[in-house]
Structure 1
Amino acid sequence: MMQKADKDTKINATFLLRLKAFLIDYLLIFIYLVFLVILSLFLSPSLQHIFQKSLIVAQFASFLIVTLPITIYFIICDSVLGGQSFGKRKVGIKTVDEKGNSITVLRAIFRNVIKFLPWEMSHYLVYRLVDIGDGEMPFRYYLIGGLIYTSIFTYILTAIFTKKKQSLYDIVAKTQVVKVS
C-alpha cells in the first residue's frame, strides 16, 4: 500500500530503493578499489610493504586507504554539503532529519560511522583470521563474526519492517531516507 503525501509529508524510501541506490554507489566504490589494486600492483608496488608489517599497521593503513575515503564520500553526500550520493540521486531518494531537512555534517558523520561499523569490524576480523592461518580460531572471533552478521541483518530488517522504513542506524541518528520529486 502506497503512502499518500501532502506538502509536509515525505514518502519513505523502501528497502529495495535504498538497496538499488547503494548498489549504484557500490559501483563507484568498486572502481575506487580497482584503482587501488592497480596502484598497488603496477604503479607503486612499494605500498604493499605497508600491509606486510604488523597487523595493527596493516589494519590502520587499510582504514585510511579504503574505509575512511568511502565513509567521507557518504558523509559529504548525505549531508547538506552534497545532498545525495550518486546512487540516491539516480533513484530519487535522499537522507533527511526528522523534520525533512538535509542532515548536518555532524549527523551524517554519526549516521555513517554506525552504518559502516559492521564493515570495519569485518575488516578487523579478516585481518585476524588471515594472521592465524590454519591455527585454532579464538572464541572471541566467533563472537565478533556473530555481532557483524547480527548488525547487518538488524540494519536490513529494520529498514524493511519499521513504519518509516528506517534502518537501525537511521533510528539512532534520527534520520530517514525519503523519496524526492
Structure 2
Amino acid sequence: MTVLGFVVRSWSGPAFVPPSPPLVAVDAAVLSMTVFPVWSYLTAGEGGRAGAAWGKRRAGLRVVDAGGGRASYRRVAIRNAVKLLPWQLAHIAVARLMLGVDAPVTVGVTYASALVLPPVSIAMAWRDPLRRALHDRVAGTRVIRVSGEPS
C-alpha cells in the first residue's frame, strides 16, 4: 500500500481536500473500513467463551487474564487496540501521504512509529518469561496453549 501511495501521489500531484469533512473524519473513515472490523472480530472471539478467534482456536491457543482466568471484553478490547495500532498508524500515514495533506515530517513520524512498534513488541515477548508482547502487557492478558487442542 505504501508503494502504491507513492506512485499515486507522484502521478496525481497534491490532492484537493475540501475543508469538510475535516481530516479527523477522513481518519475515522479509514479506521471504520480497515482496522475496526478486524478489531471487532478479534475482540468478539477472544472475549467470548472460547477466549479465542478462529485462528487461535485452530492453533490450540486462548487469551486469558494475568491470573489465567477468562479475559474480560474490556481487557481483550484494549489488547486488540494496542495490537492493531501500528496497522492503523500505517493507514493514516499512507492515506495522508496520498492526499498530500500533512507535512512530510508528520507522515514520516507516524509511519516510523508503525514500523517500530511491532519489533519492539516482538522483543518484549521474546524477553518475557510468559511471552507477553506489548499488547498483552498493556491489557493484563497473556496467551496460553490449551491442553488437548491441536498445536
TM-score normalised by the shorter chain: which range applies? 0.7 to 0.9
Aligned twin of 1:154? 120
Which of residues 60, 63, 67 in structure 1 aligns to 2:28?
60
Q: How many residues align?
A: 127
1:1-181 to 2 correspondences below 5 Å: 56-132=24-100, 138-181=104-147
Query: Normalised by the size of structure 1, how large is the TM-score?
Result: 0.63
What amino acid sits opposite 2:127 in the alignment?
F
**How far 1:144 sits from its partner (Å)?**
1.6
Unpaired stretches in structure 2, ≥5 consecutive residues: 1-19
What is the distance in 2 between the residues matched to 1:143 and 1:88? 33
TM-superposed CA distance for 1:56, in Å, is: 4.4
**Post-superposition CA distance 1:78-111 (Å, at most 9, x none):** 1134421111011111111111111001111111
Give RMSD over aligned pairs.
2.1
TM value normalised by structure 2: 0.75
Runs of 5+ consecutive residues of structure 1 not aligned to the other structure:
1-52
The offset of 1:160, in angstroms, is 2.1
Separation in structure 1 between the aligned mates of residue 24 and residue 134 of structure 2, nearest angstrom? 29
Q: Is the 8 A contact 1:76 1:82 kept in 2?
A: no
Give per-residue Cα distances to partners, 1:38-97, cap 9 Å, x unaligned: xxxxxxxxxxxxxxx855444322222222111011111111344211110111111111
